[in-house]
Structure 1
Amino acid sequence: MPQFSLYEEEYHPSPLKRTWIEFRNSHIAVVGLVVLAGLLLFSLFAPFLAPYDPLAQNIDGLLIPPSWTVNGSISHLFGTDALGRDVFSRIIYGCRVTLGSSILLVLLAMLIGVTIGTVAGVMQGVRSSVINHLLDALMAIPTLLIAIIIVAIVGTGLVNSMWAITLALIPQFIHHTRSFVRAEMKKEYILASRLDGATNRQLFFNSILPNMIEMLVVQGTLALSIAVIDISALGFLNLGAQPPLPELGAILADGLDVAYLAPWNVALPGLTIFVMVLAINIVGDGLRSALRKRLVR
């Protein structure tokens, strides 16, 4: 028998659950999240999902069409390239290299950017003004151009391109963190903590950082889409990942030589990059909308 309650208790979900409720109300955002989760699964379990070695060449199976065409073979779902390598396996490993590298460098850029941005937000006077104008100058330059300049100085390669894109993304996190910290420092709860004797470090970890999580999630998803595009662009320009490393931009560049004979070698990796960036942007927009609606309610 259910227990009788004279007073009906109101249900107040946690902030994280309220964000998820608002997020799942957008069907497009949920579809983007499912696609992004699928790409992450491909990246994590690439050795188990790929039917062939992405670097294995087969001279007896050059330029086999995809399985859905008339002359296609079911043994090679997306066909093969000019060296007989399985395109489906290379795309799976390409997702692992491109998306995995992008996530890693975005986390590193976020860590460095938040640290410097917090220090810049706390500082005042001439030093704060110099950092502000320097950030405005750097943010006016596209991240890809900054990455190309850095790669031209330090040399080509996937690791160098990752460092270059990380350095190009850091000013964005510094700018947003600095603006957020300066706005929070003017609020009453920060003043009350200061009157209680809290240091700047205590203010950041106990008061500012918990409120900054939402901004970092949104900015992180936007930076992730930029990182995917930049890594793919550098690989396509032969400035990033070098052959035979299966990276989506490098795979796309390899397919240009046989684009007229085997258009799937260009269309399929290009479509993968497009779907990956689109899914990340949709999830980022969904998170931003969910957070805004949660705060309004």
Structure 2
Amino acid sequence: MGQSKLYLEDHFPSPVKHTWIEFRRNHVSIIGLWIFLFFVAVIVFAPGIAPFSPTEQNTDVILLQPAWDNSGTIVHLFGTDSLGRDVLSRVIHGSRVTFGISILIVLIAMLVGFSLGAFAGMGHGLRASVLNHLLDAIMVIPTLIIAIIIVAIFGTGLTSCMWAITLSMIPKFIHLTRDLVRNACHMEYVTAARLDGASNTRILFDSILPNMIEPLVVNGTFALSVAILELSALGFLNLGAQAPTAELGAMLSDGLEVAYIAPWNIALPGAAILLMLIAVNLVGDGLRTALRNRLQQ
């Protein structure tokens, strides 16, 4: 016999759980999440998934057709490139490099941008004013132009490309954090914390930061799509990853030389980039919609 309850309490989910409930109502965003998790799995398990080494050359199977062509073979499912390297293995490792480094770029940019943005939002006086005006000036310049300028100064290479994109993204996160902190400083819960004698650091981490996590995550997902595009663009311009490193943008650049006779060399890396961007943007749009619906209830 079940136990009776004298008091019936309404169950209110936590903000994170409520956001997840709203997010999973959007079936398109769930598909994007599954694609996103697939690429995360590629980052973790790429060495075990790839059938060949991405740099292994075989001159006996140069420009071999994909397996679905009559002259193809199941051994090289996506065919080979102009040096006899397995395209499937290079796409897997290229996705690992492009997607993994893009995530790392966004995490570093968010961390630095949050630190400087919090200082600009809570600070007063000449230092905060100079930082705000300098930030507004930098925001006018497209991030890809900033990245190209930084690569031109420090030289080509995957590491230089990574830091160039990171430095170009930091101002956007500073601007976002500054606006969020300034708006939060006028809220009643922050005023109550000040009246209790809380320091600025405690107010930031105990009162303001918990309400900033979701907007930062949403904007971080859209920044991830920008990082993927910029990393691929710099690789395509031969300013990023250098041979023989497998990176999707560099693979597109290499495939242009044989595009007419071996179109799969550019179609497959391009499809991987497209799927990444679709997944990231679907997840970001789903998070933004879920957050808006949660706040309206």
Q: Return the letter of the residue paired with 1:209.
A: L
Partner of 1:34: 34
Quote the offset at 1:87 in angstroms: 0.4
Deviations 1:235-275, CA, capped at 9 Å, x for gaps = 00000000110000011111011000100001110111011
Partner of 1:269: 269
Count, aligned residues: 297
C-alpha distance in structure 2 between counterparts of 1:258 and 1:117, whole Å? 47
Partner of 2:149: 149
Deviations 1:143-193, CA, capped at 9 Å, x for gaps = 111000000000000000000000000000000000010111111111111
Partner of 2:16: 16
Partner of 2:161: 161
Could you say what the CA RMSD is over the residues aligned between the two structures, in angstroms?
A: 1.0
Quote the offset at 1:124 in angstroms: 2.3
Q: Return the letter of the residue paired with 1:266.
A: I
Q: Return the letter of the residue paired with 1:124.
A: H
Partner of 1:258: 258
Quote the offset at 1:77 in angstroms: 1.0
Q: Return the letter of the residue paired with 2:151.
A: V
User: Partner of 2:277: helix, strand, or coil?
Assistant: helix
Partner of 1:122: 122
Q: Return the letter of the residue paired with 1:241.
A: A
Quote the offset at 1:12 in angstroms: 1.4
C-alpha distance in structure 1 between counterparts of 2:72 and 2:276, whole Å? 26
Quote the offset at 1:17 in angstroms: 1.1
Partner of 2:92: 92
Q: Normalising by the residue count of structure 2, what TM-score does the alignment of the two structures yield?
A: 0.98
Quote the offset at 1:129 in angstroms: 3.1
Q: Is the CA contact (8 Å cut-off) linking 2:119 and 2:128 kept in structure 1?
A: no
Partner of 2:180: 180
Quote the offset at 1:5 in angstroms: 2.1
Alignment pair present for 1:225 and 2:225: yes
C-alpha distance in structure 2 between counterparts of 1:274 and 1:136, whole Å? 31
Partner of 1:132: 132
C-alpha distance in structure 1 between counterparts of 2:244 and 2:25, whole Å? 43
Q: Return the letter of the residue paired with 2:230.
A: D
C-alpha distance in structure 2 between counterparts of 1:233 and 1:211, whole Å? 35
Partner of 1:245: 245
Quote the offset at 1:112 in angstroms: 0.5
Partner of 1:214: 214
Alignment pair present for 1:111 and 2:107: no
Deviations 1:62-103, CA, capped at 9 Å, x for gaps = 111111122211111111000010000000000110111111
C-alpha distance in structure 1 between counterparts of 2:103 and 2:219, whole Å? 13
C-alpha distance in structure 1 between counterparts of 2:278 and 2:126, whole Å? 41
Consecutive unaligned residues of structure 1, counting only runs of 5 or more, are none
Q: Normalising by the residue count of structure 1, what TM-score does the alignment of the two structures yield?
A: 0.98
C-alpha distance in structure 1 between counterparts of 2:110 and 2:282, whole Å? 20
C-alpha distance in structure 1 between counterparts of 2:277 and 2:140, whole Å? 22
Quote the offset at 1:15 in angstroms: 1.2
C-alpha distance in structure 2 between counterparts of 1:32 and 1:137, whole Å? 35
User: Partner of 2:212: helix, strand, or coil?
Assistant: helix
C-alpha distance in structure 1 between counterparts of 2:222 and 2:188, whole Å? 31
Deviations 1:7-30, CA, capped at 9 Å, x for gaps = 333221111111111000001100
C-alpha distance in structure 2 between counterparts of 1:185 and 1:13, whole Å? 26
C-alpha distance in structure 2 between counterparts of 1:53 and 1:123, whole Å? 52
Quote the offset at 1:126 in angstroms: 3.8
C-alpha distance in structure 1 between counterparts of 2:110 and 2:290, whole Å? 22
